[in-house]
Structures are given as C-alpha cells and as structure tokens.
Structure 1
C-alpha cells in the first residue's frame, strides 16, 4: 500500500496572539527546574530562554555559535538576575554533535524546547546524504529528545516543546522520498515537510512518553523576522505576508483532518531506522 502524505491542522492557541512570553510565565516558579533551549542565541529562542530564566529556571542555550550563546546568556542574566544560565555547543545537523551533547548532560532535565532550525535553504546535504532542513529541524531534535529521554523521565513532570510553523501547510512528510533523492528539490516544500515532522514527532512522543510523566506539545510562534529567514528575499517575505493578510491559501492547502497518528508512528519508526543505519 502506498504511504500517504501527512498533513496537519493548527491547534487553537491557549492565549491571545499578542500575549507575551513574560505574561505567560507571570506567577510561575521554575526555581530548581532545568531547561534546554536549542537555538537559544537568536530569534524566538532568546525570548523563550529569557522567559524561563525570569521564572527561575536554570537555562542551557544549546547553540552552534557558543560565542553568540555566551553574549545572549550575559544579556539574559543582566535582565533577569538569574545567574544559572549556561551555554553548550550543539549542531543539530551533525549527529556526532548531538551525541556529544547528550553524553555531557548530567542530572535531570525538566524542560526541552526544540526551537532551532533552518528555513528555505538552498539544496544542501549532511555527510549522510540527508536533506539539510529535515536533518536539522527533525532528525537532530528527534535524536536529542531520545538521547535526553532518561534525564526527562528522572524527576517526572517534564515538558518537551516542538516549535513548528504554519509552513507545515506546504507539505506533508513525503515518505517515499523524504530526502529529495528522486524528486526535484524545492526549498519551501522541504521546509514544510520538516515542520510537519515537528508536529508528528510531538503526536507520537506524547503517546510514548506519557508513562514517564513527560508532556509533549508542538506550537507555531507566528511570523517573526529573524535570522532564520536569511535565505528568503525581502520580496518573497512581502509576498507571503500579503497572502497571509488577505487570507489567501493559493498554495497552502488547508488540511481536512487533525494530526495523523498513523503518520506520526510511521515517521517515528522511519527516523529510528534512519539513525540506526547511520550508526
């Protein structure tokens, strides 16, 4: 039977579109809790880390550029007074880097925010031949979450957040050719596939980790101009924003069903097989 492409519908937000991170954590005490934010040195990751730190959490920025991470940590310390910030190297496109991060982690982990990513990049591949966006946005975070599984289960009540985006409308996971080995590469389709994978990961992980007391969710942060868009021209951004403002769905077909548990389970197995083949 031919595998079907998976599509997702967005969840309704728990708060308003203009609710700030600081408002979300207001009154929340995360003292003694440890958090990891991937890509925490730029964009949404910075403010996520800042909000967690302001609530008392010990936040580790897992970043490729540790110099930028150190500067961000200093800024977060200055604005929150929290001295518990840390920086660790992590390149999600490099499975050896992911393994090194996991190996170096000691003790419990209470919050994992899978935030880092690349978007609409030119056709690039990892040494394994994996398409870069899928390898970074999904496979890297998948390996990280699995590797940190014991740390997340240690104290109970841990949370994992997968940061997706509305780009998931552009493509389901094309299981027949995830890495564009036979079909022509298209950066937006590759981006959309990886963002769908983020949500499908959350669907399956929530089921698998429930017994450990780990809660897993996915979210869409909205359209925010960050360095993630470095490969996108201003003209393309303007075109996308105009479509969004007008409610147009010229290329983004709205899915008819909620996240597909069957596709989520299939992606989980495919990802495990992919990582095992590398090893």
Structure 2
C-alpha cells in the first residue's frame, strides 16, 4: 500500500487565519512540513539556522499558499535566543494554533552549550521546553496542538533523571540524542496533563527514516549501518521520501480525529504500536518514552536545571 504524502494530507484542509510556528524549517522534514502547511493558507512562522536555505524555503511557501509566512533565525541551544524569537512572534500574532518542534541536532562537532549542557539536550529538549512556555498564553487563546518530532533513536535510551543535561557524564552523542528524543515524547505526555485545561494537547511523531541534514556529521559507516538496518542487501523498507516522512507530522497538526487528543505517539498517520515481536526495529515506540511518572519527573528535573542555572523561563 502506497505511503501517504504530506502535501496530499494538507490539501484537504483550510487553515486560513491560523498561525503555525515551526522550528527548523530550512531543509529536510521541516521544509517539507512547512511547504505542506503553507498550502492550507495558514500563516507559517519558520525558524532556521541557515538563513539562506530558509529564504529558499520561504519563497517556495509563498508560491504555494496565501498565508503571510515569516522566517526568523533561532538557536534553540540559547535561552536568550529562544526568548528573543518568542517576543518577535508575540509582536506579530495574538495566538498560536499549532507549534511544531521539528528542529534538532544529532552528531555535532560541538558537544556542549554555554551552560555546559549536552548540545542535543539543550537544542532538542530544553529549547523547545522554553519556547512552549514562552508561547503558552498565545497557545491558550484559542487552544493549540503541539507536535514533537521524535525518533526511533529513543529505543533503548531511557532518560537519566539525575543527569538530564549530561553535566556529569562523558557525552556519547548517539546515546545523548536518543535520550533527548525520549524527552520529546515525555514532554508531550506531561504538557498534555498540565495544559489540557487550556486547550493545549501535545503528541509525539515518529517520522520514519529519511536522509536529512540531521545526518550531516554521520560517518559513512554509520550511514551504511542505518541504511540496511533490517539486514538485507538493499535499502531497508523503513526508509521513505521527504513527503512520506513528513506526512505524519502534517497529519498530527491537522487531523480532526486528534482534536483535543494528546499524549500519544504517532506513526504512519495513526497511533504507533509498542515495540515488540513483529515490529520493525525502527518502527514502534518503547514504553519508557510515555510513562506518566517519568514524564512528570523529567519536567520537574528540567525546571530544576533551569532554576539552578538562572535560565529565564516564563511561568505557567
């Protein structure tokens, strides 16, 4: 059965007058998601580290939809930059209807941020945690969906609650990335619990496997290992095109059946199966990434880190 395409899903929806904030929209899955949502007529606010690539994406978005699209630079590993961006957004719009936490880093030459935190933790988790808090009132105005971009990399990587930011451990990029993706899923669980009475519901999407800029620093050996995860000689069936891999993110943002529904892991435009016998190694999710008690403790541990390092955060 052919996989669904992100733009086909978006074509069934009219989001005229709605505002979408999407991080990491200059290339890859983020760019495909942004272009798909632009076709709905939504006003799409996109962030990018590479502004030249972001401008190219913005031009394509303008050709696809009638919304007023905006592009801003954002370094999610910098709390100052996150709050600057949030202030710019709040100057432009009264409400945020959809927040898509797409931006992320995996294997990087720089290992730690200015606070000494692992860069995967601060970019993939903490930056989005701070951004969601900064936009909370705007998301509460009409209710909002939050879509967290997860990864099969969370498998076998439960969070280390007493060292979320890798301050005491020697950084292993692959493990740190997996833990940050577990945190993305746990965020969706706890954000829904805390904010559902504001009309805010968060879900985590597993997009499947596709070559993107996230893999720019992967070794050739690592890419070959990933390419044939299923053990065959050719490309594994888990790999897809950008349009296929972005489809679940777009579906999570738009599907009527997800109205006021949160704390789910989604895959292939539907609920994700729990990993186990008969599930592809890169499909499904592990239960540690949705455990409600772990989600609560991870949220509290993140707040404790923020407080101990005097990082500004807007209160709930």
- TM normalised by structure 1 equals 0.87
Listed one character per residue, the Cα deviations across residues 26-74 of structure 1 (whole Å, up to 9, x for unaligned) are 3211010000110011110011111111011000111223332222101
How far off is 1:171 after superposition?
0.8
Q: Which moved more, 1:49-58 or 1:173-182?
A: 173-182
How far off is 1:122 after superposition?
4.3
The answer for unaligned runs of 5 or more in structure 2 is 233-278, 311-316
| 256 and 44 in structure 1: CA distance in 2 versus 1, 3 angstrom threshold | closer
| 48 and 255 in structure 1: CA distance in 2 versus 1, 3 angstrom threshold | closer
Aligned Cα RMSD in Å? 2.3
How far off is 1:254 after superposition?
7.5
Q: Which moved more, 1:204-213 or 1:170-179?
A: 170-179
Contact 2:183 2:289 in 1 (8 A): no
Q: Which residue of 2 aligns with 1:21?
A: 6
d(CA) in 2 for partners of 1:120 and 1:36?
Answer: 25
d(CA) in 1 for partners of 2:107 and 2:156?
Answer: 12
d(CA) in 2 for partners of 1:217 and 1:17?
Answer: 24
Q: Which residue of 2 aligns with 1:272?
A: 303
Contact 2:47 2:71 in 1 (8 A): yes
How far off is 1:257 after superposition?
6.1
**2:82 paired residue among 71, 89, 98:** 98
d(CA) in 1 for partners of 2:285 and 2:54?
Answer: 37
Aligned length: 261
Q: Which residue of 2 aligns with 1:7?
A: none
d(CA) in 2 for partners of 1:237 and 1:65?
Answer: 23
d(CA) in 2 for partners of 1:252 and 1:223?
Answer: 9
**Pair 1:221-2:207 in alignment:** yes
SS in 1 for 2:187: helix
The answer for unaligned runs of 5 or more in structure 1 is 1-15
Runs of 4+ in 1 over 4 A off after TM superposition: 245-249, 251-254
Contact 1:170 1:252 in 2 (8 A): no
**Pair 1:74-2:59 in alignment:** yes
How far off is 1:253 after superposition?
12
Q: Which moved more, 1:253-262 or 1:104-113?
A: 253-262
Contact 1:112 1:161 in 2 (8 A): yes
d(CA) in 2 for partners of 1:244 and 1:275?
Answer: 40
d(CA) in 1 for partners of 2:291 and 2:18?
Answer: 32
Q: Which residue of 1 aligns with 2:140?
A: 153
d(CA) in 1 for partners of 2:162 and 2:308?
Answer: 17
Contact 2:155 2:285 in 1 (8 A): yes
Listed one character per residue, the Cα deviations across residues 82-116 of structure 1 (whole Å, up to 9, x for unaligned) are 35111112110111000111122221110100000
| 70 and 256 in structure 1: CA distance in 2 versus 1, 3 angstrom threshold | closer
| 100 and 243 in structure 1: CA distance in 2 versus 1, 3 angstrom threshold | same
